[in-house]
Amino acid sequence: MYPIANIAETRTLESRVVESGVPVQALMERAGTELASTLHAWARARQVATGPVVVLAGPGNNGGDGLICARRLHDAWERVYVYLWNRSDQEDSLIADLKHRQVQIVHAEQDEGMFVLTRWLRHSSWCVDALLGTGANRPLPADLVAILDEVRGHQPRLRLCSADLPAGALSGTGVDGAAVPADLTIMLGTFKSEVCRDGRLPNLGSIEVVDIGLFPEGSRDTDAQGLRAADLDWLLPRRSNYSHKGTFGRVLCAVGSGRFPGAAILAAAGVLRSGAGLVTVAGSRPVLAGLAAGLPEATHLPLPDQGGTVESGAAALFLKEVSRYESLLVGCGIGHTDASAAFLRELLIGLRDTHPIPLVIDADGLNCLASEADWPSLLPAGTVLTPHLAEMARLCGLPLSEVAANSLELAAAKAQAWGCHVVLKSHASFAAAPDGQVRVLVEPNSALATGGTGDVLAGLLAGLRTRVADPLQASAAAILVLSEAGRLSGTRLGPDSTLASDVLQDVPRVFTQHPR
C-alpha cells in the first residue's frame, strides 16, 4: 500500500523530516531520482521510447525536482532539454550542474514565439511537467497557458509525465481548462487526496506513488492508504489442504427476484469464486429455478414470495437459518418494493438483536435501506454497505454531483457517522471503516462498467468475510480481486464486450497469481 494525504498534511510530513535533520536538498535529490527511474521503468514496461525528454522546470521545489530528474536522465544517456519558466538560474546549483554537463537550457522569457520549445518538443518522445506541482490552486497565468498549449499540440505522439501533479490540476474547484492531460503522474511521497475531487482523476493518466523518505522505516503514518495489486499477497486468506468445505465458510444470500434473476447467480458465484466452501441462496421459487441451471453448486432456501419478490414474512424463515452460516449477503436484485423493504427491516432488527453475523448489503438492499427514517440504527455491528454513487446519494440525501465530487471524504465521514463499513464504488473505489481508516483503489477500467459487476463484488466480499475477520481487509481484498479480474477480462475480450460473467471467469486467475 502507499500513503494518501492532502497537500497540507504532506507539507507537514516534509517539515517533520527536515526538522529531524534531513536537508531539503536531500529530499529533492530523492524525488528527482525517483522521477527519472519511474519514468524509465514505466516506459520500458510498455515498450515505448524513453527519450529524448523536454523538462519544463518552474519555480520552487517542484522545479528543482524536475532539474534533478533532468540530470539523472542525462546521466542515463538520454538526450535532455530543459525549459525554465519563472525560474532564475542565479545561484542555482541545480542549473549549474546541468550546464556543466552541457545540457541545453532555455528560459521561456528568452524564447520569443516559443520557437526553441516547439523544435525540442517536435523531436522528443517525452515532456516532464515540473512547473507547479502542488504549489498553485489558482488560474494559470497567460504565459504558462501558452507553454501548455504548445505541449498539447504535440500529443498524443509526445507523452507527458507530471511531477507530483499536472500544472492546473488543482485550479479552483476543478481542472483548469488549459491543463494538459498527463500520460503518467508520479506523485512524490504521498498520493494527494485532492485529486479525488471534482473530476480531476482523468487528467492524471497512470498514477505512480514513489517513496521519497517522508516516513520512518516501516511506517505509513496516514489513515488513508492506496491499494496495489501486490497487496493481494497478504490481503487474501491462506488456504490449507487439510480442510473441508466447512473450513472455508458458509454464506447465506437473500438475492434475486423475478425481475432480476441473474443477480442471484452472479452474487452466489462471486461467493464461491472467493473461496467460500458453501453458498445458500434464499429467494423466490422462480429465482431458485433459474439458479439450479445456472449455478448447480449453490444450495437453496425457498422463501414465500408474491410475483417473484419475497414477502415481509420471509424474514422469519431466513432468521431461523442464519446461525448455520458465517456471513450474510442481502440486497442484490431483490427489488425495491414495499414488501422487500419490510423484509429487510425485519431481517435487520432480528440480526441486530440476536444474530451478530457479518453482513453485506448491496444494490436494492441499499435502496430499501435509504427509505427507512433512522436506518443506521438498524445495522448490526460490522455491517458493510457497498453503494455506487447514486445509491450513496440516496443514503446520504445528497445530490449525485456532490457525492461524485467528494467521494473519498464522504465515504470516510459517513462510515464514521453511520458506524458501519462503506465500500463506495466509482472509477476509484473507497473502502472506509468507522475508525477513520480508508483504503483506496485508483485503477479505472471501463470493462467493469457493465451490469452485474456490483453483484460479483458483493459476492466476493461476503465470501471473504467468512475467513477474514477484519471487514476493512476483506473489503480491500474484494475490490482488488474484482479490479484485477476486470483488467484480465478487458485485456482478453476488450472492454466493450466484457460481461460480468466474463469477469467471474477471470477471478480464479487472480487467485492463482497471488498464491499464499
> 226 labelled as ligand-binding?
no
> 454 labelled as ligand-binding?
yes
> 428 labelled as ligand-binding?
yes
> 62 labelled as ligand-binding?
yes
> 58 labelled as ligand-binding?
no
Can you list the alpha helix ranges (DSSP code H) found in 214-355? 232-235, 261-273, 285-294, 314-321, 338-354
> 154 labelled as ligand-binding?
no
Detail the DSSP E strand segments found in 8-137: 53-57, 80-84, 104-107, 126-130
> 427 labelled as ligand-binding?
yes
Detail the DSSP E strand segments found in 120-216: 126-130, 159-163, 184-188, 191-192, 206-210
> 139 labelled as ligand-binding?
yes
* Torsions phi, psi for 365 (to 5 deg): -60, -40
Separation of first and last alpha carbons in the chain:
18
Write out the three cell numbers for 34.
Answer: 525517483
Core vs surface per residue 455-479: b (16+ CB within 10 A) or e: bbbbbbbbbbbbbbeebbbbbbbbb
> 425 labelled as ligand-binding?
yes
Give the DSSP letter string of 6-36: -HHHHHHHHHHHHHTT--HHHHHHHHHHHHH
> 164 labelled as ligand-binding?
yes
Cα separation, 174 vs 203, whole angstroms = 10
* Angle at the Cα of 236 from the Cα atoms of 233 and 241, rounded to 5 degrees: 100
Cis peptide before 216 (omega within 30 of 0): no
> 183 labelled as ligand-binding?
no
| Long-range own/partner contacts, residues 320-323 (CB < 8 A, 24 or more apart) | 321/252, 321/280, 321/282, 322/252, 322/351, 322/355, 322/357, 323/355
Cα separation, 319 vs 351, whole angstroms = 7
> 198 labelled as ligand-binding?
no
Strand partners, 163: 186
> 133 labelled as ligand-binding?
yes
Closest CA to 40 of 80, 96, 98, 82: 80
> 75 labelled as ligand-binding?
no
> 21 labelled as ligand-binding?
no
> 367 labelled as ligand-binding?
no
Cα separation, 267 vs 256, whole angstroms = 9
Strand partners, 191: 4
> 135 labelled as ligand-binding?
yes
Sign of CA pseudo-dihedral 21, 27, 28, 30: positive
Cβ–Cβ contacts within 10 Å for residue 448, how many? 25
> 455 labelled as ligand-binding?
yes
Binding residue ranges for AMP: 425-429, 454
Binding residues for K(+): 62, 129
Q: Could you tell me which residues are annotated as the binding site?
A: 61-65, 129, 133-139, 164, 263, 333, 388, 425-429, 454-455
Residues flagged as binding site for (6S)-NADPHX: 61-65, 133-139, 164, 263, 333, 388, 455
